[in-house]
Structure 1
Amino acid sequence: MVTRTARHGSDDESGDADYGHLQLTALDGWRGFVAEMHTAPNLLPTAVWTGLAEDKRDYYDDDRIDHHSRLLVVQTPTIRQVIASGRRLVQLNRNAHSGRCGLMVSGPAGTGKTTALTQLGKTVEVIHRRRHPHAADDIPLVYITIAPAATPKMIAMEFARFFDLPISRRANITDIADAVCGVSRDARVTLVAVDELHNLNTRTRTRAGADASDTLKYFSERTPATCTYAGTSLERTGLLSGTRGEQIAGRFEHGPHRSVQPGPTMDRAHRRLGRQSATTPAPAWITARARPLPAQAHPRK
């Protein structure tokens, strides 16, 4: 397991820090995401904290801010449902030769679709690592995002970039697809996660979107893995209409996503979670340095 800590006074403030661990669309970044462990910083007594030299106190506060910036994921009922559905599909597709089913997570913007997709991928990979502890070269999951106006070759290059494959600029899409599918089979890929799928809007970019959609279908048929898609309001993009859309809709489970905000449309489990979040006191390492502001410091509505 890898636990990252702040590097005081060097690369973090100069702008030369290595942000490779934030790139989930690259294999090294994804493995770092799976392996990282969040640990709360040690809470110093007030007397010790005030007695620190100014630079050491700044370093300590920077560590606390860095910890808070790594937002912890709340296991909402929706995220648990996505993980359960994805794991079930992986098991059902394990021995399928064709016609494998997939999962499609759709919903409004800002409702946690990417979070649910990455948590599903992380869960699948952790389980794979536990079951096969000596298969260090396995790559259970591939995660890519779809760029706006993506072409078939751009999508193929996203897969190749995840594996860090040396692809020549002169390589055509067939060469790239053969290389990606070969590595996927050798690395025992079991889940392919495709995010930002709404960028393949076949209503506004009919030919380009249709060709790119066919490319995803081609990869799903040649790779013995379960495909999971996520995007904003996919029902409005045209991906589920027409002959192609009917085939996609028939093979994919649809998981409309909702934000965890207490309201009249939320189910009982989400309401309970919202009440617990509102009434649970913050940990001591959050409130230890908090100071109440005077009344004039609060903005008036």
Structure 2
Amino acid sequence: MTSPDTPPTEETSAGAVTTFDAFARFAATAPPTPPQPGQAPRSLEQRLAYHSQFVTVRTPAIETLTPQVRTLMILGRHQQMTARPSLIVTGPATTGKTTALLQVGRTCHLAHTRGAAPGDDSVPVAYVLVPPGATAKTLAGEFARYLGIPVTARMTTAQITGAVCHTYTAARIKHVLIDEIHRLNPRTSTGAEAADWLKDLTERIPATFVYAGNDVTASAVFTGARGAQLAGRASLIDCLALPARAGEREPFRELITALEQALDLTSHRPGTLPRLAPYLHERTAGRIGSRARLIRQAAIEAILGHSERITKTLLDTITLDHLAKSTTGPAPPNAVPGPLIGDRPHHTQAIATAASRHHATTRTRPAAHTAAARPGHRLLPPALRRPAGTGTYRRANHPAQNRRPTQLTAQHQTASSAHVSSGAGHSASRKPPPPNEPTAQYS
């Protein structure tokens, strides 16, 4: 067992507890504890490691999930013919779903080990991550890997499934925690096969299944007939961002206060972070993961910078994750504002519009339409050209000449043709225009 002051290793991180040995070490490792009165000061490395791990504050999702899992376990204890009721923890990213799932698994594991008889080798909890692009075989392989069931490349899905069901039943697993459930996509053939396999597993293993995923109700997990089967057996627990105020309570400020009390900084002033709760809520959008990272990183910066206190000035220098920055919150101090066109002042819009028109009229023309390709002629200015496919002669865009276009009617065209035919005899005596005189081009 590692002490609370040791830095977290890869085996005890949330992404590496997908084997029984790793999960057992994670559950048995004492969580980091804040400094106690009369305790000897910790070293620099110990305090950095402590803020790297930091404490886990009981969120509303953890408080709701723990009793519901216990109730569902009792509800489905003697249910044999059909799948037992299950739970789904859903919500946006970085709202503490995986943390809640792991904390519930740790609680169940510790409760079992405290009451287990000597020699009891049963496994109370299984924790499985749904792999990206999961198929029935790869998902079955993840279940087998958790208990160390040997799997070969030649084994079929049915063979792996039989070994998993037999071993999980023999190990008397009571809770199966499945994370990243949103990766299942029943709309594809492989995803539908994996969803059917998981449904079959819930009916063959006498355990309570708890799922966690990002916005499960809006994903493909609940779509179609397969999604309806899962939705009909699972209760939802929403793990949302904490509001600044809920009735007479201030949930976000309460959690900020609990985190401040757990800091191990020598010069930090108590009450600083609760007073900054509106600012912290705006920057993190109430997301638990973003809030925890911001405070942990600020504490580490305060230790390394020898200030030993967290201030708003220090918090302003911390760069948050992209999701929190894109959701809400002010721009970093060194960011250059780049407003959209709709947000620009009128004179800025006018300048931008004029620049775009100038660019449109001065763009490079193909070589076939240049004056060099047609000796003796100069092209008309763009404002005097006739739009292709019309009989409209467009005049120059000038205030003095800003009149409506002249459209040649059929009567005018007939009269013009007659006038040209009557003057055909004089056409030969006309002199051609000088080479440098511009000639109107209508074709």
Taking structure 1 as the reference length, the TM-score comes to: 0.81
Pair 1:36-2:35 in alignment: no
CA distance in 2, matches of 1:105, 1:62: 36
Q: Which residue of 1 aligns with 2:67?
A: 84
Tell me if structure 2 keeps the 8 A contact 1:108–1:257. yes
Counterpart position of 1:214: 196
| Alignment CA distance shift 1:81-1:26 (3 Å) | same
Cα distance in structure 2, aligned partners of 1:219 and 1:161: 16
Are 1:109 and 1:232, in contact at CA under 8 Å, matched by a contact in 2? yes
Matches for 1:20-99 after TM superposition, within 5 Å: 20-22=11-13, 23-40=16-33, 60-97=43-80, 98-99=82-83
Higher relative contact order (CA 8 A, sep 6+): 1
Aligned partner of 2:337 in structure 1 is none
Question: Which structure has the bigger radius of gyration?
Answer: 2
Letter in 2 for 1:21: T
Q: Mapping of 1:1-301 within 5 angstroms?
A: 2-4=1-3, 19-22=10-13, 23-40=16-33, 60-97=43-80, 98-203=82-187, 206-263=188-245, 267-268=246-247, 271-279=249-257, 281-283=260-262, 285-287=264-266, 291=307, 301=333
Rate the CA distance shift 1:77–1:39 in 2: closer, same or farther, 3 A: closer
DSSP-derived class of the 1:137 partner: coil
Q: How far is the alpha carbon of 1:179 from its aligned partner?
A: 1.2
Shift of 1:19: 2.9
1:30 aligns to what SS in structure 2? helix
SS at match of 2:237: strand
Q: Which residue of 2 aligns with 1:54?
A: none
Gaps of 5+ in 2: 268-302, 318-331, 334-443
| Structure 1 runs not aligned, ≥5 long | 50-56
Q: Alpha carbons of 1:284 and 1:87: their partners in 2 closer, same or farther (altered >3 Å)?
A: closer
**Structure 1 residues 293 and 3: alpha-carbon distance in aligned structure 2, compared to 1, 3 A threshold:** closer
Residue 241 of structure 1, CA deviation: 2.4
8 A Cα contact 1:195 1:231, kept in partner: yes
TM-score relative to the length of structure 2: 0.56
What's the CA shift for 1:293?
A: 9.0
3-state SS of the aligned residue for 1:286? coil
Aligned partners of 2:120 and 2:51: how far apart in 1?
31
Partners of 1:71 and 1:294 in 2: how far apart? Answer: 19
Cα-to-partner distance string for 1:60-111 (whole Å, 9 max, x where unaligned): 3122111211132111222110111111111111111023110011111111
**2:227 and 2:176 mapped to 1: Cα distance?**
19
Amino acid at match of 2:96: G
Aligned residue type for 1:61: L
